[in-house]
A and B are shown apart, each in its own frame.
Chain A
């Protein structure tokens, strides 16, 4: 199947936001490792810096200090190829889904492949396959993203995150906007990705119930990360 190897290594990463004279240390020397085929859950109250940490890993923010190695490559180096990293190494799943409302479910999933220059036929085939895997089929494929239900949206969003077959899935409160039943389906999908396809899945949440899906768990408080037993 796949090797359980270290995929992600976060080392003493810090991020401070300054607005005027006020300073917020959103992430404070956070360190952890994650492997392929495992689900890592980072638990923390609101404002503890979870999202910031996830965006640092996803290269949407740059850390003030520290290293983030993905397959041994430091993405914080100034010459890192972030465009290709965002396209192929990492897939984001957001609490608010962030689908493009004017596009159909199918088009939302083909979009990352389109940006990467994948041929149109290949895009479609793979998108349909991914969406089928998420239980999105038939007329839903052609439905505008804005018309889908929350659970459908999140499943389309996961399919989009998988479009270019990244190793790393970063999920920010993926069940935050869903009812508990739908939330469970989404969590099952995410754990399935780790178990069956060997993805390295990182979920940040304030929902302790999420811990049941975790292989590894961390507690985040005021930007500081601490491992917890499960």
Chain B
């Protein structure tokens, strides 16, 4: 204790030398702590992103296959096709309709993967509601109809308006509700039980409900699209009314400004939509949320394995993920993390160098003092404790000042690093050239958009065509663990600083030192 006191006194009595060391250390420590804080912030942000982006996959029919089916059918004479359809059995007809759908079994099997934490199946269908009037969905539907052979004949004979129905296993997991693009304002959403029991319930858009005088509990008649002459009807009960919080971003073109296909979408249990579409056992896609973006790669590999083992028809189905989104968001963060790690190592090295050099100069300048201390009966331990206390004081003052300063500069440094890295990433992607988008396998721009549109982001046909680039932000938050690291750094450089007098004292011969003039 007395030795520590003597160390403190010595620290106070050598203000100039100690101040110089404190200042140098302060600069390097501020930089170290800031880099540490930035690195930790970047790493934790990447982890956070992993849980919300890049952790999504959907199993669906590839666009190429859809195009192929469309090409085949375009080549045929419609009259001849209708005649053929009339002769088909139920099974043949189902097969014909399901050409661009995925068997539910395939999506179910795939959902057994351990990486998957939640799973939904989705089917969109165009359904004729004879009694309901509302804005037409023709522009979108014309495309859909061309792609979908099953419903093509149905709507041509339909008397009422056609509406888009989205079916999934429970209402709350519909991506529009998950994303917050739509919000329930009245009644309730259907549940998983409704899906299992195929309860004929439906959730209706608010404006549409108002215009048609629909309330919760009212019934709507829907036409089930069978083959010619085989249409039947189903009674659907309105159980919920939603409002659109965020209209789908239309294309940039004028025509799309008012066009809001999903705005008056109907939501119903998957089993009900399957029945309305006459495609029982088929879905458009299986949507999977993974535990983390890290699992995305594993899942893609698993899918490829299944394809190569012949369990899945690889030319027909594809597994689309939003991993590239994760990459583009996390890439600058990872770069920041890497840069700050290097900077941290450099700054810590500088701290070590400073303290060792400083102690060499300080202890070297006080060799005689050490000799005197030994000659008057100080033990090595007493001398060491005294010096350790002095070194610790120097480091502590520097560290406290640095901790304060780094709270001010670390956010700036982090932002600057992120800006630099984001700019670098942008330049790199520009250099790649716009005509060669990664993942864009289809030549037609509109279709390429569809290829990239995932159900998670509003669906393949949502026309949210401009992929809004999500940018990463860096929030340098001071966490307890940072304090622990700070203390470890403090102790580390203090120990290193104390090592100098240790070596010195061991080599010191008081007789030699004291005899010096």
Which residues of chain A from 170 to 213 have a CB within 8 Å of any chain B CB? none
B379 on the A face (CB < 8 A): yes
Interface contact A100-B372, CB-CB below 8 Å: yes
Interface contact B514-A112, CB-CB below 8 Å: no
Which residue of B2, B14, B510, B517 contacts A60 across the interface (Cβ within 8 Å)?
Answer: B510
Please report the number of residue pairs spanning A and B whose Cβ atoms sit closer than 8 angstroms: 60
Which size class do B's interface residues fall under? Answer: 20 to 34
Question: What separation, in Å, do the CA atoms of A101 and B366 have in the docked complex?
Answer: 10
Which residues of chain A from 104 to 119 have a CB within 8 Å of any chain B CB? 107, 111-112, 114-117
Q: A88-B377, A111-B376, A115-B377 are in contact. Are A60 and B13 (CB under 8 A)?
A: no
Interface contact A114-B2, CB-CB below 8 Å: yes
Interface contact B2-A86, CB-CB below 8 Å: no
| A102 CB contacts on chain B under 8 angstroms | 10, 13-14
B511 on the A face (CB < 8 A): yes
Interface contact A98-B372, CB-CB below 8 Å: yes
CB distance from A27 to the nearest CB of B (A): 12
Interface contact A100-B510, CB-CB below 8 Å: no
CB distance from B310 to the nearest CB of A (A): 85
| B374 CB contacts on chain A under 8 angstroms | 60, 86
Question: What separation, in Å, do the CA atoms of A99 and B375 have in the docked complex?
Answer: 12
| B14 CB contacts on chain A under 8 angstroms | 102
Contact with A along B480-517 (1 / 0, CB 8 A): 00000000000000000000000000000011001101
A218 on the B face (CB < 8 A): no
B6 on the A face (CB < 8 A): yes
Interface contact A96-B517, CB-CB below 8 Å: yes
Q: A96-B517, A102-B10 are in contact. Are A58 and B377 (CB under 8 A)?
A: no
Question: What separation, in Å, do the CA atoms of A92 and B515 have in the docked complex?
Answer: 12
Which size class do A's interface residues fall under? Answer: 20 to 34
CB distance from B358 to the nearest CB of A (A): 17
- A92 closest partner in B (C-beta): B375
B378 on the A face (CB < 8 A): yes
Which residues of chain B from 365 to 385 have a CB within 8 Å of any chain A CB? 368-369, 371-379, 382
Question: What separation, in Å, do the CA atoms of A39 and B387 have in the docked complex?
Answer: 38
| A58 CB contacts on chain B under 8 angstroms | 375
| B372 CB contacts on chain A under 8 angstroms | 98-100
Q: A100-B372, A103-B13 are in contact. Are A84 and B511 (CB under 8 A)?
A: no
CB distance from A106 to the nearest CB of B (A): 12
| A115 CB contacts on chain B under 8 angstroms | 2, 373, 376-378, 382
Which residues of chain A from 56 to 95 have a CB within 8 Å of any chain B CB? 58, 60-61, 83-88, 92, 94
* A-B CB proximity, top 8 nearest: A87-B377, A86-B377, A102-B13, A60-B511, A55-B511, A112-B376, A61-B511, A98-B372
- 20 A-B pairs within 8 Å (CB atoms) are namely A52-B511, A55-B515, A58-B375, A60-B374, A85-B377, A86-B375, A86-B376, A88-B377, A92-B514, A94-B514, A96-B517, A98-B368, A98-B514, A99-B372, A100-B373, A107-B9, A111-B373, A111-B376, A115-B378, A164-B377
Contacts A86-B375, A100-B372 known; list 8 others, CB within 8 Å. A60-B374, A83-B379, A84-B377, A98-B514, A111-B373, A112-B376, A115-B376, A115-B378
